[in-house]
């Protein structure tokens, strides 16, 4: 491993997956050409596509009454697709905002498509740390759906509980925590995720949606965002990102081989506890998120003395620890330790954090 890459996304892909893709790049399964060179309609690619979907269904235990759509347009595209598919002109939807990405989704709906009701669901506790206020996650009777983001990539906040919202469909953005732990798909009306955080290269977006919610899109919803169209054409209404789809399939195989989401959860708990326990013990560093709500995959922290930020990043880089700079809206530091990051990477980071603190205390 040449570097430990803590980028929030696009981000590290398992070295085994990278190596397999490299090996097959010019000659896929003896066909004398690469996956990126074939038509998406050829049986060779259709097999790749179907296998990826089957593996995702298996890994997440997705029931048959859910469609799995492979799309483009990113998380941002789905911020529009959700209201365009689910929110009637005269309806309204509840948005449970816990950080940057759920706020972006709320704004997309409120500013362009209709009546989005904002619920601020993060407050500061007595220690001045951010904490999720689940009591704010109440649906308004008659809502077409309730929306939340299970893992706030920028803020480092993860939801480990789901609100009880009865029959109102719960729509979740899982761009950064997909496949990091087992979840019960049947609790959701739809799950959306961009692949570039935990699964594959950028340019692939997946929607997992209960079939009875499909087919109600607004008339002017672009066909390419209309889940009914994508479902009907099996995600091949236009040319899909064949390379990212193929890479996602390789990642799903990798996850299956190592034991699935339960094993990944175990690893992600181990990695994140190692990092947070160190940060909590050391006055040189601060975590702004309360313990119970800390993301297992995006660890956001600050140096107590922020004047040292640039120096910190330079020295980290010299130690092959890269991508630690926090998101521009928040500053500080962020270590993204997704599925592909092995515990050795986190151990290396902790060793550096310790040395840097000692050298500057
Ligand atoms: C990165 C991210 C997005 C934005 O995804 P794009 O594919 O860049 O549009 C949305 N939601 C979450 C939780 C993210 O981490």
Q: DSSP string of 247-268?
A: HHHHHHHHHHHHTHHHHHHHHH
Q: Which of 223, 243, 258 is the last residue of a domain?
A: 258
User: Do 247 and 267 share a domain, yes or no?
Assistant: no
User: Do 245 and 271 share a domain, yes or no?
Assistant: no
Instruction: Clarify whether 197 is annotated catalytic.
Output: yes
User: Do 245 and 284 share a domain, yes or no?
Assistant: no
Tell me how crowded residue 19 is: count the other CB atoms within 10 A of its CB: 11
Residue 4 is assigned to a structural domain of this protein: no
Hey, whose CA ends up nearest to atom 14 of ligand 1?
175
Distances (CA, A) of 15 to 43, 106, 153, 337: 28, 36, 23, 15
Domain count, the chain: 2
Burial of 105 (0-12, 13-18, 19+ CB in 10 A): buried
Q: How far away, in angstroms, is 338 Cα from ligand 1 center?
A: 14
Q: 3-class SS at 121?
A: coil
Best CA proximity match to 165, nearest among 149, 187, 182: 187
Would the CB of 332 count as within 6 Å of ligand 1? no
Distances (CA, A) of 80 to 125, 126, 149, 272: 33, 37, 15, 32
Distance CA 42, CA 278 (A): 52
Instruction: Clarify whether 173 is annotated catalytic.
Output: yes
Which of the residues 4, 94, 177, 197 is marked catalytic? Answer: 197
Residues contacting residue 310 through CB under 8 Å, at least 6 positions apart: none
Q: 3-class SS at 298?
A: strand
Would the CB of 149 count as within 6 Å of ligand 1? yes
Would the CB of 203 count as within 6 Å of ligand 1? no
**236-270: burial string, b at 16+ Cβ within 10 Å, e else:** ebeebbbbbbbbbbbbbbbbeeeebbeebbebbee
User: Do 239 and 291 share a domain, yes or no?
Assistant: no
Q: In what order do the strands lie in the sheet with 66-71?
A: 66-71, 205-210, 190-194, 170-173, 146-149, 92-97, 115-120
What CATH code is carried by the domain that includes residue 236? 3.40.640.10
pTM as predicted = 0.97
Q: How far away, in angstroms, is 174 Cα from ligand 1 center?
A: 9
Asked whether 52 and 67 are in contact (CB, 8 A), the reply is no
Residue 100 is assigned to a structural domain of this protein: yes
Residue 223 is assigned to a structural domain of this protein: yes
Residue 225 is assigned to a structural domain of this protein: yes
Tell me the residue range of the domain where 102 lies. Answer: 15-258
Q: Which of 232, 258, 284 is the last residue of a domain?
A: 258
Residue 2 is assigned to a structural domain of this protein: no
User: Do 39 and 100 share a domain, yes or no?
Assistant: yes
Would the CB of 240 count as within 6 Å of ligand 1? no
Distance CA 331, CA 286 (A): 13
Residues contacting residue 101 through CB under 8 Å, at least 6 positions apart: 75, 149, 152, 153, 154, 173, 175
Q: How far away, in angstroms, is 19 Cα from ligand 1 center?
A: 26
Residue-by-residue pLDDT tens, the chain, 361 positions: 589 999 999 999 999 999 999 999 999 999 999 999 999 999 999 999 999 999 999 999 999 999 999 999 999 999 999 999 999 999 999 999 999 999 999 999 999 999 999 999 999 999 999 999 999 999 999 999 999 999 999 999 999 999 999 999 999 999 999 999 999 999 999 999 999 999 999 999 999 999 999 999 999 999 999 999 999 999 999 999 999 999 999 999 999 999 999 999 999 999 999 999 999 999 999 999 999 999 999 999 999 999 999 999 999 999 999 999 999 888 899 999 999 999 999 999 999 999 999 999 8
Residue 9 is assigned to a structural domain of this protein: no
Tell me which DSSP letter residue 325 carries: B
What CATH code is carried by the domain that includes residue 267? 3.90.1150.10
Q: How far away, in angstroms, is 29 Cα from ligand 1 center?
A: 33
Q: Which of 258, 286, 319 is the last residue of a domain?
A: 258
Would the CB of 103 count as within 6 Å of ligand 1? no
The distance of Cα 249 from the centroid of its chain, to the nearest Å, equals 17
User: Do 334 and 200 share a domain, yes or no?
Assistant: no
């Amino acid at each position: 491993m040449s570097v430990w890459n803590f980028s929030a996304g696009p981000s590290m892909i398992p070295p085994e997956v990278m190596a397999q893709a490299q090996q097959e790049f010019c000659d896929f399964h003896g066909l004398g050409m690469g996956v990126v060179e074939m038509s998406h309609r050829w049986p060779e690619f259709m097999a790749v596509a179907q296998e990826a979907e089957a593996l995702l269904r298996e890994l997440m235990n997705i029931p048959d009454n859910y469609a799995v759509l492979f799309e483009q347009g990113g998380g941002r595209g789905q911020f529009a697709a959700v209201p365009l598919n689910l929110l009637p002109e005269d309806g309204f939807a509840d948005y449970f905002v816990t950080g940057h990405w759920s706020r972006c989704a709320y704004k997309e709906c409120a500013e362009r498509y209709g009546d989005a009701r904002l619920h601020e669901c993060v407050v500061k506790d007595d220690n001045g740390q951010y904490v999720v206020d689940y009591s704010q996650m109440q649906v308004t009777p008659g809502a077409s759906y309730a929306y939340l983001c299970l893992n706030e990539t920028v803020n480092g906040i993860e939801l480990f509980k789901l609100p009880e919202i009865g029959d109102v469909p719960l729509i979740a953005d899982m761009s950064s925590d997909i496949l990091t732990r087992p979840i019960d798909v049947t609790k959701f009306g739809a799950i959306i995720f961009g692949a570039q955080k935990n699964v594959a290269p950028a340019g692939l977006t997946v929607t997992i949606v209960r079939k009875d919610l499909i087919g109600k899109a607004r008339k002017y919803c672009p066909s390419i965002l209309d889940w009914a169209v994508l479902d009907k054409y099996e995600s091949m209404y236009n040319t899909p990102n064949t390379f990212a789809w193929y890479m996602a399939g390789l990642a799903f195989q990798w996850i299956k081989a190592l034991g699935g989401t339960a094993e990944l959860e175990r690893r992600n708990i181990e990695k994140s506890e190692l990092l947070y326990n160190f940060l909590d013990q050391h006055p040189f560093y601060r975590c702004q998120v309360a313990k119970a709500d800390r993301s297992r995959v995006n660890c956001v922290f600050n140096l107590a003395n922020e004047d040292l930020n640039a120096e910190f990043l330079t020295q980290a880089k010299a130690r092959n620890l890269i991508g630690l700079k926090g998101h521009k809206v928040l500053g500080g530091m962020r270590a993204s330790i997704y599925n592909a990051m092995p515990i050795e990477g986190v151990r290396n980071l902790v060793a550096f954090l310790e040395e840097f603190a000692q050298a500057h205390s």
